Amino acid sequence: SKSAGECLLKCINGKIKDVKLPQDPTFIGRSPETEIQDQCCSRKQVKLTANFSKRIVECVALGMNPSSLNGQVMSKGMAYEAKDGDIIEVVPGKYSYKIIFTSEESLPENSTKATPGNSKENIPKANESSGKRKLSGDPEESSSSASKIPRTDATVAESLEAPDGKLIYIWTSKGVISRSKIASYDIDGTIITTKSGNVFPKNLDDWKLAFSEVPGVLKKNHADGFKVVFFTNQASIAKRKLKIEDFVGKVKRIVEKINIPVQVFISTGKGIYRKPMVGMWRLLEERFNDGLKIDMKESFFVGDAAGRAATKGFQKRKKDHSCSDRLMALNLNLRFATPEEHFLRAKALPWERPEFDPKNYVPPKQLLQPPGASLHAANKEMIVMVGSPGSGKSAFVQANYQGKYEIVSRDKLGTWQKCVAAAEAALQCGKSVIVDNTNPDIESRKRYTELAKKLKCPCRCFQMATTPAQARHQIAFRELVDPSHAPINDMVLNSFKSKFKDPTTAEGFSGIVKVNVIPKFKDKKHQDLFHMYLLDK
Ligand SMILES: Nc1ncnc2c1ncn2[C@@H]1O[C@H](COP(=O)(O)OP(=O)(O)OP(=O)(O)O)[C@@H](O)[C@H]1O
């Protein structure tokens, strides 16, 4: 049978070994196989795929420093076709190979003649480039769009990137390689702790390894084929209490101490990158792992924000300040361990689920209580909503009364006086009215019950049954999906709580109806987000 022959990389420059290319894609770079030891050459400097039937080699430059084909520097991440006799310079001017295809019948004439001595005459001029082919769109386009360029293995340089404005930074240490198994860790309280014993570090030097086992365990993960990644929330960067350069400096010293390559995701403020949200992980998956699919069964995350209760006695410890690490792992269906379980093989401690559990939320079956209550009245009426910020009043009103009742809302009209005037005008015209305000106290509701009384119109009260914990979740959800809504802070929520009085029929309502939140979403993305843990406890 006819053999497809061989493809040989014949050294023509530098003291490096010839390499026989197999059928499978091969990384050529700093390795025992090539004997290249030079630090300016990445381990995966170029990816070469030989096609024996076509007698071509697909070349993709991946290294931090350039490689060239026939004297022309290859754009990083682009595929180039090299033919028999072409020259690939793994490091231009230093390490070059000539590509030689052989077959059983006929050895190309020059193949055996290739010697380090003839390199000069064989290197074509820069404009004699070999067949350059697009791998991912236009070269200009791909160089401006980082997501399209396969990332480098960064064996030479370290890098710091802020792919989404200043919301997130990714620091990649020297030697990080994309892998499908991810060993990921929180930093504060997991990898390091303060030297001072303070909860927050006093200064940039106030740290020490949290457990003496940290370097050993991480080294073992690295050796076992895991990519080691840190995910840290550093909101003080957005608050300008900490400079990103200073924090990265600290991270570098931590990674130097552990002495293995680590990629570090630094979330600087609020939003989708902040744990327990999964933005950092998604970014790793989509843009910082060379498109390599992550093996979720093998991968894991370790963090100290695990929602553990305080314990007394021998192993006395304070309650965890948050549950954001565990909740991020739960959002991702990723294996999770606390640092004590991971580094010390301690037994798992009980932990508290958040009061509102979006992942396991089973909505009530009935929208209204009592179940017999009707959404709309046969004749003109007024409905006064009662519910905290974020309890779901507007969503309920929009879904059920848009185009049917006059919707009166202070968010739109500005003042309660305008709301009362708008309600009166609509009722005078024979239109039913629904008042979409928080209306926490008797005083605020009285404005409408009195109006109804004056106009001899029945008035019902619809009270959101949403718990405060669910409302907080919904506010966090809204912040992500509708940034146009005014932000709600704890002060606003507490003000509602302190004013709140349960509505009664004695106030002039003909009935009080409780309203449940039955989630309905505009798309699957929103639905998935709603069912994730968005708050840190
Ligand atoms: N039934 C529902 N289905 C899906 N999402 C909902 C539902 N109810 C509320 N939400 C979501 O929860 C968040 C808060 O709801 P909404 O804005 O209706 O609350 P609100 O009580 O009107 O708050 P505020 O008084 O602060 O304006 C919104 O992002 C909304 O989309």
Contact (CB, 8 A) for 41 and 133:
no
Q: Is 303 close to ligand 1, i.e. is its CB under 6 Å away?
A: no
Nearest residue (by CA) to ligand 1, atom 13, is: 474
Percent of the chain at pLDDT > 90 equals: 74
Give the E-state strand segments of 196-237 in sequence order.
Answer: 208-209, 226-233
Q: Which two tokens stand for residue 347?
A: 């037994």
pLDDT of residue 53: 86
Q: Is 389 close to ligand 1, i.e. is its CB under 6 Å away?
A: yes
Q: Which of 375, 394, 528 to mutate to test the pocket of ligand 1 (most atoms within 8 A of CB)?
A: 394
Q: Is 521 close to ligand 1, i.e. is its CB under 6 Å away?
A: yes
Whether the predicted pLDDT of 368 surpasses 60:
yes
Lowest mean pLDDT among 32-36, 311-315, 427-431, 493-497: 311-315
Q: From the CB of residue 490, how many other CB atoms can be counted at a distance below 10 Å?
A: 9
42: left (phi over 0), alpha (psi -120 to 50) or beta: beta
pLDDT of residue 104: 54
Q: Is 387 close to ligand 1, i.e. is its CB under 6 Å away?
A: yes
The three-class DSSP label of residue 27 is strand
**Is the bond preceding 354 in cis, omega lying within 30 degrees of 0?**
no
Cα separation, 330 vs 352, whole angstroms: 13
- Ligand 1 centroid–CA 394 distance in Å is 6
Nearest residue (by CA) to ligand 1, atom 29, is: 478
Give the nearest ligand 1 atom to 492 CA: 26
Nearest residue (by CA) to ligand 1, atom 10, is: 392
Cα separation, 43 vs 49, whole angstroms: 16
pLDDT digits (tens, 9 = 90+) for 205-255: 999 999 999 999 999 999 999 999 999 999 999 999 999 999 999 999 999
pLDDT digits (tens, 9 = 90+) for 121-156: 332 233 333 344 333 333 333 333 333 333 444 345
Give the nearest ligand 1 atom to 471 CA: 14
Output the CA torsion sign for 170, 171, 177, 180.
Answer: negative
Closest C-alpha among 421, 427, 429, 411 to residue 447 = 421
HEC profile of 315-327: CCECCCCCCHHHH
pLDDT of residue 54: 87
Nearest residue (by CA) to ligand 1, atom 15, is: 392
Cα separation, 369 vs 187, whole angstroms: 47
Query: What's the complex ipTM?
Result: 0.98
514-to-120, 386, 495 alpha-carbon distances in Å = 86, 9, 22
Contact (CB, 8 A) for 295 and 287:
no
Q: Which two tokens stand for residue 439?
A: 């209306």
User: pTM, whole model, 2 decimals?
Assistant: 0.73
Place of tokens 């997130």: 168
Cα separation, 54 vs 212, whole angstroms: 55
Cα separation, 72 vs 280, whole angstroms: 37
- Ligand 1 centroid–CA 301 distance in Å is 32
Which residues lie across from 176 on neighbouring strands? none
- Ligand 1 centroid–CA 517 distance in Å is 9
DSSP string covering 487-509: P--HHHHHHHHHH-----GGGT-
Cα separation, 234 vs 217, whole angstroms: 24
Whether the predicted pLDDT of 117 surpasses 50:
no
pLDDT digits (tens, 9 = 90+) for 458-516: 999 999 999 999 999 999 999 999 989 888 998 999 999 999 999 999 999 999 999 99
Q: Is 520 close to ligand 1, i.e. is its CB under 6 Å away?
A: yes
Contact (CB, 8 A) for 194 and 207:
yes
pLDDT of residue 134: 31
Cα separation, 81 vs 49, whole angstroms: 10
Cα separation, 235 vs 452, whole angstroms: 49
